[in-house]
């Protein structure tokens, strides 16, 4: 049974969404996953959840999105006094140093190049979630 914990995935590639959902359904049973493929939708959702006091335990961001990009979402999160405590991890197919630098400058907690196979995703995604997800009931921050 799923708890109230959830991860917000901001991603526009249907294949990546499918594979990530599969890992969540099989290996990360304690988390639900909510997906948006446009930056403004993700931002609106976060603002609404901020008002309802039900923030995601982690945000996973791709850079390229259908509308806007992951940096827009990251910037919104890290400039908001309440949202900024949400750990935010970028997973992108871009290995450009300037993208990594920009993510770091905007306050991104971690940056990973996209995992290319399902096997590596199955191994790494749970580690990333376990390392970075915040536990609102037990963690100080």
Partner 1 sequence: MISGKLKILLIEDELSDYKLISHQINKIVEEPILVHVNTYTEFTSELKKFVPEVILCDYRLSGFNGMDVLNYTMENAPGTYLVFVTGTVNDEEIAANTILNGASGYILKKHMPVLHKKLLPHFEEIIKRRNKGKTSSDQREMFDTVQNFIENAMKENNLHIESYLQIKKSLAQLKGMKKDA
Q: How many secondary structure helices (H) and strands (E) does the chain include?
A: 5, 5
Tokens describing residue 24: 């969540």
Decide if 7 contacts 59 (C-beta within 8 A). Answer: yes
Number of residues in contact with partner 1 under rule CB under 8 A:
15
In the bound state with partner 1, the residue whose beta carbon lies nearer, of 93 and 131, is: 131
> Among the candidate windows 43-51, 64-72, 115-123, 133-141, which touches partner 1 by CB under 8 A?
133-141
The owner of tokens 């959830």 is 6
What CA–CA distance (Å, rounded) separates 127 from 102? 24
Q: Is 30 in the site for partner 1 (CB under 8 A)?
A: no
Site for partner 1 in 74-113 (CB under 8 A): 87, 104, 109-111
Nearer to partner 1, 51 or 127 (CB): 127
Q: Using the rule CB under 8 A, which residue among 1, 81, 95, 140 binds partner 1?
A: 140
Is-contact 89 111, C-beta < 8 A? yes
The answer to whether 130 contacts partner 1 (rule: CB under 8 A) is yes
Give whichever of 25 and 139 is closer to partner 1, judged by the CB atom: 139
Instruction: Outline where DSSP puts E strands in 37-133.
Output: 58-61, 88-92, 110-113
CA 14 to each of CA 18, 19, 21, 30, 65: distance values in angstroms, whole numbers, following the listed order: 6, 9, 10, 23, 11
70 binds partner 1 (CB under 8 A): no
Q: 119 vs 127, which CB is nearer to partner 1?
A: 127
Applying CB under 8 A, the residues found at the interface with partner 1 are 87, 104, 109-111, 127, 130-132, 134-135, 138-141
């Amino acid at each position: 049974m799923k708890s109230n914990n959830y991860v917000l995935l901001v991603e526009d590639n249907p294949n990546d969404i499918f594979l990530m959902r599969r890992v969540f359904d099989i290996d990360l049973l304690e988390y639900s996953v909510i997906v948006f493929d446009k930056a403004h939708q993700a931002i609106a959702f976060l603002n609404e959840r901020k008002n309802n006091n039900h923030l995601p335990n982690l945000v996973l961001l791709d850079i390229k999105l259908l509308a806007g990009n992951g940096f827009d979402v990251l910037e919104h999160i890290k400039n908001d006094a309440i949202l900024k405590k949400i750990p935010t991890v970028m997973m992108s197919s871009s290995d450009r140093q300037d993208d990594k630098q920009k993510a770091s400058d905007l306050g991104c907690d971690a940056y990973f190049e996209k995992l290319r196979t399902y096997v590596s995703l199955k191994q790494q995604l749970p580690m990333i979630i376990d390392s970075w997800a915040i536990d609102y009931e037990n963690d100080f921050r």
